[in-house]
Amino acid sequence: MYNPKKPAKRLERNRQGARRIIVCGMALATVVLSDCPARAEAQQANGGAPVVVQPGAPGQPSKKLPSSTRATLPPRSPADVEFMQGMIMHHGQAVEMTALIASHTENQELRSLGARISSSQADEINFMKRWLSARGEALSMASRPGASHGMPGMSMSQDSSEHPAALMPGMLTSEQMQELRKAKGAEFDHLFLTGMIQHHHGALTMVKDLFDTAGAGQDAEIFDFATDADNSQRAEIKIMQNMLDKKILLEEKR
């Protein structure tokens, strides 16, 4: 049984660690890029070779580094790339699910929720595509050279076009999607809510796997995106669970 509290605690510890790494890296980069030229200039004015100084930790002395030292950002982890590629696929199915709402239910509360999910996840898909493109990475795992194993928690199934596809954690199978497409009214509402809750829990698993992977999630943009995704998915799970509980309660009273 999924317990959201335990992953949340581990996730918070990993986030704190990643945040410290990001901040320290940025601080070092700032010092090397902005402070060092001034120090080097002063040293050259005195006729000596340029000197690069690395500030020490609180209470520790600074260190002199070779004049050839250059600031570099931490290399991106392959897990970062796989996370973004996998989440594009994951978000894509959520958008596909919300597209069914207009023609399958008159439930205004569900329509409002679906519009919000569709808009936010479409925007996030665009962000993830820009992130990957800026780094020369493929937009999907299938198009990445040598891609065959995928991320932890992935399962093999088939998409609606009957082409083999690896499903990310929580994604609905082709059978579940077919059942959702055929349903109408109250039946659709129930299948949509249970399916999207399953889908959102899968996203939480993906974020947890990212931060549990050594060296992953240190990129500032990915850290912020994954953290925001985790928070929003948890909030929407609560909303959908309340809607589902209220629906069940109403049906029991009839």
pLDDT tens digit string along 66-80? 777 776 655 679 999
Q: Which residues are registered as beta bridge partners of 166?
A: 156
pLDDT (0 to 100) of residue 125: 97
Give the ranges where 1-151 is alpha helix by DSSP (H). Answer: 5-30, 36-45, 78-98, 101-104, 108-134
Mean pLDDT (the chain) is 78
Q: Which of 249, 140, 145, 129 is nearest to 190 (CA)?
A: 249
Which pLDDT value is given to residue 96? 97
Average pLDDT of the residues in 177-183: 98
The mean pLDDT of 197-224, rounded to a whole number, is: 96
Amino acid at position 2, single letter: Y
Beta bridge partner(s), residue 99? none
**Distant-in-sequence contacts of 207-215, Cβ < 8 A, 24+ apart:** 207/11, 208/7, 208/10, 208/11, 209/83, 209/151, 209/152, 209/153, 209/169, 210/79, 210/80, 210/83, 211/10, 211/11, 211/14, 211/15, 211/18, 212/10, 212/14, 213/77, 213/79, 215/74, 215/77, 215/79
Statement: residue 237 has pLDDT above 50: yes
Fold observed for domain 78-253:
Ferritin (1.20.1260)
Nearest to 213 by CA among 224, 205, 221: 205
pLDDT of amino acid 63:
82
Q: What is the pLDDT of residue 45?
A: 47
C-beta of residue 50 within 8 angstroms of C-beta of residue 43: yes
Average pLDDT over residues 21-33: 44
